[in-house]
Amino acid sequence: MFFANCFDQNSELFQDMLSYIRLQADWGDFNRWQMDFQNVALTGRGNGWVVCGYSLYHKRYINTFISNHNKDVMVGFIPVLVIDMWEHAFARDYLNDKKSYLVAMMREINWALVEERMKKVDVLAKVMK
């Protein structure tokens, strides 16, 4: 999921896009979501992935850190945005500067793909009601 949703050098996000609307609605403010996503990424335990996804139990989008490849995965969680926070992802270009790496990755999010994932979540969330 990471390789598909990152590396879009023409990354664009507009306020009328579903991804912006959903994250703003669940977080009260898009910037609040973004700050939390970055905080989760930078305070995650060890190597792993920072993930934004929909919780079928909480019925909202949340941010989480998945340690290694399979630890701390929530039941009923559908990922829509994934960023690699393993040392090998940033060390060559950013040394130990995880924050600069994360900011660079967030500037290249493929929001059109995230949007498609969120549309699928909308369909599933309706079925799960």
Give residue 42's pLDDT.
94
pLDDT greater at residue 26 or residue 89: 26
Provide the whole-model pTM.
Answer: 0.92
Give residue 67's pLDDT.
87
Residues 55, 62 contacting (CB under 8 angstroms):
yes
pLDDT range class, residue 88, cuts 50, 70, 90: confident
CA distances from 106 to 23, 64, 75, 76, 125 (A): 15, 16, 26, 25, 26
pLDDT range class, residue 90, cuts 50, 70, 90: confident
* Mean pLDDT (whole number) for 75-91: 89
Sign, CA dihedral 17-18-23-26, equals: positive
> Would you say residue 37 has pLDDT above 90?
yes
Contacts of 78 (CB under 8 A, 6+ apart): 53, 54, 56, 121, 124
